[in-house]
Amino acid sequence: MAFCALTYLTSVPVSLAEKPPEKKAQGTPVANEQGIEEVQQETSVPVMQVPVSPVVNQSQDVEVSSERDILRNSQTCFERAISILDVVVTGIGVLVALMTMIIVIASAVGIFEYRKWKTLRKDMQEDAASLRNLRNKAEELANELRAKQKEPTSLVSGEKLSEAISTATDDINQRLEVLELLGVPMKAEDHMSRSIFCYKRGEYELALKHVEKALSLKPDSAVGWNNKSITLFNLKRHAEAVEAAEKAIQLKPDYENAWSNKSAALANLKRYAEALEAAEKALSLKPDSAVGWSNKSAALANLKRYAEALEAAEKAIQLRPDSENAWDNKSAALASLKRHAEALEAAEKAIQLEPQSGSGWSNKSVALASLKRHAEALEAAEKAIQLRPDSDTGWYNAACAHSLMDQKEPMLSSLRQAIYLDTSCREEAKDDEDFKRFWEDKDFKKLVE
């Protein structure tokens, strides 16, 4: 069967005249209503009917449908865009509203805080003015207080402050503390007063701090260097104490207290000849100085000039019967002269004057041991150690008492501590007859070798 192939579809109807002629078959062709020939049954080759008009109408409907879909899709996209734009505009509106609200609130808070700080600033200015007035009055009082003060108190080894000076020092210190809190700058004399107050209370580190501040403000103060010397002496910084005393003497060569303090520091450095020389210099400047005679007695005793030492101690007692140091030196000189009962009396007198005197209890221990009252001697030595744990003399006397009571282990322990505090105790123990019974003991020999 053969088909007619249609190459293009157009909107124009195909007429019969435009169709190419076909070869007739044996049957008679009959034209139908559309003008297309029908072939009778007798025709040997059948012909396909070509519905031209329906094909043309279908093409037009497709084109119209496509245009409508495009329009419909475009309208849908446009409506979606409008919806999105509405959402964005609404969001922007909300953000603008929030920002506006925040700005309004911040402005209100800022105005409130500004007024608050303005009021506070005014109050602070008024308070500052009041403080300035108070400080000015405080400075006036400080100047009046300084004007009433005499020359700063000069401290000396072995001599306590008088009751009057002690009371005045307390009063001045209380006022200075208040003035310092108010911001009044402290002057050199103020720090000197604070230093003396701390020294009186036994607060030597703080006393040193204040006296050094005073010297930083007034480095040419002989009194300042002298007081620094005695403060260092009480801190057992004896070499520095000598240097400070010499600085005071350099500024004021006839400064008797500085010579006395130098003598005491030199004696503790075991420079006994120099200590005696300094003590005699102090006495040449002030012959009635109980401290000078007491320092001379100590130096003479350490030079083994015991009779002279006793004489110097008695001279000091004559000048100052309440001098605890003078009685201590007398006890030591009497013990060296083997006048043990008198030595015990002098030691007890020193303790009576100053119950917290470690040296008084040490001298009592020596006297009791020499009187063969060993248990009492040990008790006195332990009391000295309790008052001054860093005293090599107390520990050495305790070792002697333990040795005399044949108590080896406590003896070795006490002697070991004494040697730790002062290595010269090792050589002294080798020849001390209080340790005679242990001279051949291997542990004792090992300790003192």
Mention the CATH class of domain 372-449. mainly alpha
- Contact of 248 with 222, CB cutoff 8 Å: yes
Among 154, 228, 226, 217, which residue's Cα sits nearest to residue 189? 217
Two structure tokens written together for 215: 């010297």
* Lowest-confidence pick of 58-62, 221-225, 379-383: 58-62
| Dihedral (CA of 251, 253, 255, 261) sign | positive
> What confidence score (pLDDT) does residue 81 get?
65
- Contact of 257 with 224, CB cutoff 8 Å: no
- Contact of 399 with 428, CB cutoff 8 Å: no
40 band by pLDDT with thresholds 50, 70 and 90: very low
Q: Sketch the domain layout of the chain as residue ranges.
A: 372-449
pLDDT above 70 (res 146)? no
> What confidence score (pLDDT) does residue 142 get?
60
Q: What is the DSSP letter of 11?
A: S
> What confidence score (pLDDT) does residue 167 get?
73
How far apart CA 389 and CA 307 sit, in angstroms, is 31
How far apart CA 285 and CA 292 sit, in angstroms, is 10
How far apart CA 365 and CA 363 sit, in angstroms, is 5
For the stretch 262-295, pLDDT in tens is 999 999 999 999 999 999 999 999 999 999 999 9
Among 376, 357, 356, 360, which residue's Cα sits nearest to residue 368? 376
53 band by pLDDT with thresholds 50, 70 and 90: very low
Q: Which whole number is the average pLDDT over 299-305? A: 96
> What confidence score (pLDDT) does residue 394 get?
94
For the stretch 327-379, pLDDT in tens is 999 999 999 999 999 999 999 999 999 999 889 999 999 999 999 999 999 99
pLDDT above 50 (res 91)? yes
Where is pLDDT greater, at 101 or 277?
A: 277
414 band by pLDDT with thresholds 50, 70 and 90: very high
How far apart CA 122 and CA 432 sit, in angstroms, is 81
pLDDT above 60 (res 45)? no
395 band by pLDDT with thresholds 50, 70 and 90: very high
**Angle, CA 159 vertex, CA 276 and CA 250 arms, to 5°:** 55
Q: Which whole number is the average pLDDT over 212-223? A: 94
User: Cα-flanking dihedrals φ and ψ of residue 405, to 5°?
Assistant: -95, 10
**How does the average pLDDT of the chain come out, rounded?**
80
Residue 262: CB partners within 8 Å, gap ≥ 6? 229, 242, 245, 246, 249, 278
Most confidently modeled range among 20-24, 48-52, 92-96, 397-401: 397-401
How far apart CA 237 and CA 241 sit, in angstroms, is 6
Two structure tokens written together for 125: 């200015």
- Contact of 328 with 347, CB cutoff 8 Å: yes
> What confidence score (pLDDT) does residue 116 get?
66
> What confidence score (pLDDT) does residue 293 get?
96
